[in-house]
Amino acid sequence: MTDTAPTRIVFLLFPGITQLDFTAPAQALSRMPGARLAGAAATREAIVTDSGFAIVPTHDFAACPQADILCVPGGHGVADALGDAEAVDFVARQAAGAQWVTSVCTGAFLLGRAGLLAGRRATTHWAYTHLLPLVGAEPAPGRVVEDGNIVTSGGVTSGLDFALTLIARLRGDAVAQAIQLAIEYDPAPPFAGGHPDHAPAAVTEGLKARVYDAATARMAAALGG
């Protein structure tokens, strides 16, 4: 598709959201011709991110327009958001009318809680992939996994990959490539260790012990698993 008809992109916002899960894809998608972005939460009060600063939603759930693209970011706040019936209902209602339903990182579990991942291939942050069957999903490898109109992406920085993938679907490869060039997304990290497949085992195990053993246990409890 190369048309520039308006495309409404709605991001779910909630306390404890990982800032880059939201802002990375938002930055790329905002440059797509015809893009109209919105950030929705229960109220329009500022949402505190996991980075310590706040994001102000553009809409509350009741006033939010229907999304063409629904994006659900992740973060440690997902475990609490899973118990927020209003947020889960918003995801389900928006997804019913959206052309694309997407997530970044642990946002996949909110899609799952809304009943959207049953029988679907999906991905999430590497530390949580083993929990995907708790929402009926089939874990699949890759930074971006597409299954019909459901697009899930891995942890945090994968949101840029998902955004550029979707822009290419909607506006063509040349537009996506131009946006990638404009934001100078040309990764050359100082270490080849952004995934357990490449990171030193001691680094992976240390990070799991410090952060993710407890975090995944909390997520599993929130999912009832």
User: Cα–Cα distances in Å, from 56 out to 39, 40, 97, 122, 178?
Assistant: 8, 9, 25, 29, 29
The continuous run of DSSP H or E covering 164 comes out as helix 158-171
pLDDT at 5: 81
pTM of the predicted protein model: 0.96
pLDDT at 3: 58
Select 7-188's CATH number: 3.40.50.880, 1.10.10.10, 3.90.1170.50, 3.40.50.720: 3.40.50.880
User: Cα–Cα distances in Å, from 47 out to 26, 40, 54, 104, 117?
Assistant: 16, 10, 5, 18, 26
pLDDT at 1: 43
Extract the runs of DSSP E, i.e. beta strands, from the chain: 7-12, 35-41, 47-48, 54-55, 59-60, 69-72, 100-104, 121-122, 138-139, 144-147, 150-153
Catalytic residue ranges:
105
Cα–chain-centroid distance for residue 29? 13
Domain residue limits, the chain = 7-188
The C-alpha atoms of residue 158 and residue 74 are separated, in whole angstroms, by: 11
pLDDT at 220: 97
Q: 136: exposed, middle or buried (C-beta count within 10 Å: 0-12, 13-18, 19+)?
A: middle
Q: Pick out the chain residues at pLDDT < 70.
A: 1-4
pLDDT at 119: 97
User: Cα–Cα distances in Å, from 197 out to 130, 141, 194, 200, 214?
Assistant: 15, 11, 8, 9, 21
The continuous run of DSSP H or E covering 219 comes out as helix 213-223
For the record, the structure tokens of 107 come out as 């946002």
